[in-house]
Amino acid sequence: MKQPKLFCCYFSLSEFFSSFSPESIIFVSYNYILFYHYPLNTSYYMTNRILILFSVTIVSVLSSVAQIPITFKNNWMYVDASLSYGGNNIPVQAMIDTGCTYCVIDSAFAATSAIISRDSVLISYSTEKSPLQVPRVYISELAVGNKVYSNLYCYVINLQKQFKQYSPLFIIGADILSRNLWSFDLKNLLLMFPSELPQHYSIIAWERKKARYPNEIILQAKVQGKKSYFFLDTGSRNNLLPIHLGIKSTGSKVLEKANVSTELTKEENSIVEQANFQIGIIHTKLDFVLNTERMGYLNIDFLKEKSFVLDYKKDRIILP
């Protein structure tokens, strides 16, 4: 049986571990409101006019709640969330990390919030490292905007010790992202939860057979015209390019690095700047750090300023 994994990337928190909703609400609600229309000469006109205006107000409120602001910090995406534990609601800024298989909570934050570990489990954070024993907590609910996820197990890691000032307090991993559609508008920095997809869209299919762990997103792309497989890890600060592709370095750069066994350090790395990158209908230029792994890593850079939907059920990224 495979062990639970919170996957990893180069200075990624995953290194530790292994139109849409508002418009739909308005559309459905306005259809509902149409049933309240009465002729002007009826005694119900004024009453139902008030009902209509009240309904429109409710729709407006629901629409604004359904659009959740996204904040970028250190090239990572954050949203406001709330944890339910022991009858208390605990607000937290949560990082969205496709490279993290499960939810993670910082150990100091868990202690301050009186969240007590239930048990411990073995996890793998690298294909080249031995599994680690880590505590696990049970969270009854996680709320992101108006979306509520129940019955979560989260791993407890001392993130602040390892990642210092970059450490998040809570990570939303792929176990949550895979439960429904997550729609990102990175031009307007909004997160939404669509109930249906637009009529016209293109897709980037995932290479499911190449996945090594549950809910791992593997994509095939071209860099400088050369094909390679890449692990989509929104918890990574850098894009990583396999050195075996033979793409020549354009220079070097001192970068920060951390993982489960090593606290934040700096080291010099070979880089490839402004490489031609192609995946699906996306053509852009990206900076990469060269590394010795067989598979590359992609962070959120190639999707910035774009709208996209993560569809784990059908193994695809949807581009409206």
Cα 120 from Cα 133, distance rounded (Å):
6
* The pLDDT value given to residue 131: 75
Nearest to 96 by CA among 159, 174, 161, 150: 174
* Class of residue 292 by CB neighbours under 10 A (exposed 0-12, middle 13-18, buried 19+): exposed
* The pLDDT value given to residue 84: 96
Q: Report long-range pairs for 158-163 (Cβ below 8 Å, ≥24 apart).
A: 158/106, 158/107, 158/108, 159/13, 159/16, 159/104, 159/106, 159/107, 160/106, 160/107, 160/108, 161/263, 162/16, 162/258, 162/259, 162/260, 162/262, 162/263, 162/264, 163/13, 163/258, 163/264
**pLDDT tens per residue, range 212-224:** 888 999 999 999 9
* The pLDDT value given to residue 61: 40
**pLDDT tens per residue, range 113-134:** 999 988 887 776 655 567 778 8
Residue listed under structure tokens 């909004």: 190
Residues of the chain with pLDDT under 70: 1-65, 124-129, 259-261
